[in-house]
């Protein structure tokens, strides 16, 4: 029995899911952003300007470039008497499953800044009051999902957030495990896996994404996801995002990933180490010989799956892979849960 953990059919499309332009507080126009990323081999860019959602489908080119309709929403802890250097904040990206979406949740012109007020559309609802709390964020996430959006939780370290701030979040699609802009500013934990691992251990099926949060040239093309999809269309890419048919990277690449009769098999490039994590004490770690890289990895998951079933943990037991290159760059798969493997 073969389980294709990343679909065998289709193509990989390189994507940046966190981008700002001169429509809010970035320095480049949407057209300039498109050129920067296409020149670097990207096919997908989510335009996540702050507090405004603009349809950039005029930039699309068939099987060459796709713009995702999206925006970033922030909620600052303004009621605690803190100055900005010490003020925690939630930042969420909302991605519309409809590219021509004209209604977006949690909107209020009072929150716009930079150039965003110049682009406030007439359909802006304009009355939502944001609350800095887990309950307030869950309300926003629920409203976004009810209107057909996927949601990512962004740069926890830059946001000065810790476990109590995110452990109770519900309905999040993805969490940033790498944020180029934050890393360049020195927030090294925004290039780490601990928040993803926390979500997974809580049984929350959150996917890892690596993105740039690009505002200027230096922020561009540092982290990415590779979607596996049958075509470069809006529906196909958003379906891949929603199903988790992608991996996050700021280093190695994955060509294929499957389970065959309980044996995990992966083809990859650029990795000198591969780590299998299960959330428990069944792990695996392989290192390439000196001066070489690993182009294939295998691990026997039958004992892990048998144990998960014996303990009735099919809904909470998971595995995932981390690939590491010779410069410390990583690629991360999502967590695959035992109950996804019901016919093994």
Same domain as 158, residue 121 = yes
Tell me the pLDDT tens digit for each residue of 101-110: 988 888 888 8
Report the CATH number that the domain containing residue 309 is assigned in CATH. Answer: 2.60.40
Query: Are residues 278 and 330 both part of a single domain?
Result: yes
pLDDT of residue 332: 98
Is the distance from CB of 13 to CB of 34 less than 8 angstroms? no
* 234 in the same domain as 186: yes
pLDDT at 122: 55
What is the structure's pLDDT at 123? Answer: 55
With vertex at residue 304, the alpha carbon angle to CA 171 and CA 4, rounded to the nearest 5 degrees, is 65
Residues 199 and 264 in one domain: no
CATH, residue 22? 3.20.20.140
Asked if 59 and 195 sit in the same domain, the reply is yes
Any domain includes 2:
no
Q: Tell me what the pLDDT averaged over the chain comes to.
A: 95
**Tokens found for residue 227:** 């979607």
Answer with the one of 215, 249, 283 that is the final residue of a domain.
Answer: 249
**Are residues 242 and 257 located together in one domain of the fold?**
no
Same-domain pairing of 234 and 336: no
Is the residue at 3 inside a domain? no
Measured distance CA(115)–CA(23) in Å, rounded: 5
The token pair at 319 is 């595995």
- CA 50 to CA 58: how far, in whole Å? 20
On whether residue 313 sits in a domain, the answer given is: yes
Q: Do 295 and 234 share a structural domain?
A: no
pLDDT of res. 340: 92
Which two structure tokens, joined as six digits, stand for 59?
A: 């930039």
pLDDT tens, 227-257? 999 999 999 999 999 999 999 999 999 999 9
Q: What is the pLDDT of residues 5-36, one digit of tens each?
A: 999 999 999 999 999 999 999 999 999 999 99
Domain shared by 285 and 208, yes or no? no
Q: Are the beta carbons of 247 and 224 closer than 8 angstroms?
A: no
pLDDT given at position 110: 87
Provide the pLDDT for residue 291: 94
Owner of token pair 């303990």: 311
Distance CA 23, CA 33 (A): 12
72 forms beta bridges with: 50, 93
pLDDT tens by residue, 113-130: 899 888 866 555 668 899
With CA atoms as reference, report the closest residue to 242 among 97, 117, 114, 101.
97
Question: In what helix (H) or strand (E) does residue 145 lie, and over which residues does it extend?
Answer: helix 134-146
The reply to whether 224 falls in a domain is yes
List, in sequence order, every beta strand (DSSP E) within the chain.
2-6, 11-19, 44-47, 66-76, 89-96, 149-153, 174-179, 207-211, 224-229, 246-249, 253-260, 263-271, 273-277, 284-287, 294-300, 318-324, 330-332, 336-337
- Say what the pLDDT of residue 124 is: 55
Residue 160 belongs to a domain: yes
Task: Provide the residue range defining the domain that includes 134.
Answer: 10-249
Residue 126 in contact with residue 108, Cβ under 8 Å?
Answer: yes
Clarify whether residues 272 and 243 are in a common domain.
no
- 94 shares its domain with 64: yes
Give the residue from 249, 281, 299 where a domain finishes: 249
What are 260-296's pLDDT values in tens digits?
999 999 999 999 999 999 988 999 999 999 999 999 9
Angstrom CA distances, 254 to 35, 163, 266, 326, stand at 25, 30, 7, 16
Q: Write out 237-281 in H/E/C secondary structure.
A: HHHHHHHCCEEEECCCEEEEEEEECCEEEEEEEEECEEEEECCCC
Backbone angles phi, psi at 18, to 5 degrees: -150, 100
Number of domains in the chain: 2
Burial class (CB in 10 A: 0-12, 13-18, 19+), 332: buried
Closest CA to 298 of 267, 319, 273: 267
Listed range (3-12, 74-83, 146-155) with the worst mean pLDDT: 74-83
């Amino acid at each position: 029995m073969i389980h294709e953990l990343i679909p065998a059919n289709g193509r990989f499309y390189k994507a940046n899911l966190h981008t700002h332009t001169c429509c809010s507080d970035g320095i480049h126009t949407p057209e300039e952003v498109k050129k920067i990323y296409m020149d670097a081999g990207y096919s997908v860019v989510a335009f996540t300007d702050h507090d405004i959602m603009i349809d950039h489908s005029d930039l699309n080119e068939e099987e060459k470039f796709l713009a995702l309709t999206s925006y970033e929403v922030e909620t600052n802890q303004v009621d605690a008497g803190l100055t900005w250097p010490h003020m925690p904040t939630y930042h969420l990206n909302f991605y519309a499953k409809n590219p021509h979406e004209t209604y977006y949740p949690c909107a209020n012109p009072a929150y716009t800044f930079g150039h965003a007020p110049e682009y406030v559309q007439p359909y802006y609802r304009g009355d939502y009051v944001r609350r800095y709390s887990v309950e307030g964020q869950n309300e926003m996430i629920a409203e976004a999902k009810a209107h057909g959006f996927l949601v990512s939780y962004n740069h926890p370290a830059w946001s000065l957030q810790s476990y109590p701030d995110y452990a109770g979040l519900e309905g999040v699609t993805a969490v940033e495990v790498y944020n180029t802009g934050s890393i360049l500013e020195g927030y090294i934990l925004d290039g780490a896996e601990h928040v993803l691992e926390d979500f997974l251990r809580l049984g929350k099926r959150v996917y890892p994404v690596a993105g740039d949060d690009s505002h200027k040239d230096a922020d561009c093309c540092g982290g990415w996801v590779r979607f596996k999809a049958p075509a470069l269309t809006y529906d196909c890419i958003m379906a891949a995002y929603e199903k988790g048919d992608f991996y996050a990277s700021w280093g190695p690449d994955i060509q294929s990933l499957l389970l065959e009769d309980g044996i995990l098999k992966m083809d990859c490039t650029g990795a000198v180490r591969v780590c299998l994590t299960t959330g428990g004490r069944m792990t695996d770690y392989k290192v390439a010989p000196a001066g070489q890289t690993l182009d294939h990895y295998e691990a026997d998951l039958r004992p892990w799956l048998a144990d998960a079933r014996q303990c009735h943990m099919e809904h909470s037991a998971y595995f995932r892979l981390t690939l590491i290159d010779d410069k410390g760059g990583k690629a991360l798969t999502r967590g695959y849960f035992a109950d996804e493997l019901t016919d093994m």
